Amino acid sequence: MQRGALARATGCNLETIRYYETIGVMPDPPRDPNGYRSYGEDHVSRLRFITRARALGFSLDEIKGLLSLVDSHSQTCAEVEGVAAAHLRDVRDKIANLRRIEKALSATLAQCSGSNVPACPILDVLLD
């Protein structure tokens, strides 16, 4: 299949596929005699792996690490678990940070009268 068909089969944008090829997470496909790239089911599976990992918030570097384990055929569940556990810690840290931001914004907004006066507690907090 050509790149457009790969994009349709996976729901991935054409430019994203090109980018993944450029950075090496997607292997270069062989070319047909007419010069067109020819993607196969292995490309579909790999791209689906990448898009699922991205949907779970894994960075491209983390995905490269996971794919290198898969490509070497030497991965252990412990190695994969280590990558996933580190990612989960990062996600939890981000959630905690977002909760702190939410609390600060909520408290600041609660001080705002919303009226047409020049004094604004939101700006006061940002200027402090």
CA-closest candidate to residue 103, choices 95, 91, 113, 115: 95
Angle between helices 41-55 and 14-23 (to 10 degrees): 90
Which pLDDT score is estimated for 25? 95
pLDDT surpasses 90 at 119: no
Share of the chain above pLDDT 70, in %: 100
pTM of the model: 0.79
**Across residues 110-119, what is the average pLDDT?**
82
- Main-chain phi, psi angles of 31, to 5 degrees: -110, 140
Which pLDDT score is estimated for 124? 84
pLDDT interval class at 41 (50, 70, 90): very high
CATH code for residues 1-75: 1.10.1660.10
Alpha helices, DSSP H only, in 36-127?
41-55, 60-72, 77-110, 121-127
Which pLDDT score is estimated for 103? 95
SS3 91: helix
Note the pLDDT tens digit of each residue in 49-92. 999 999 999 999 999 999 998 998 888 889 999 999 999 999 99
Which pLDDT score is estimated for 15? 96
pLDDT interval class at 23 (50, 70, 90): very high
**Across residues 101-108, what is the average pLDDT?**
92
* Sequence spans of domains, the chain: 1-75, 76-128
Which pLDDT score is estimated for 88? 97
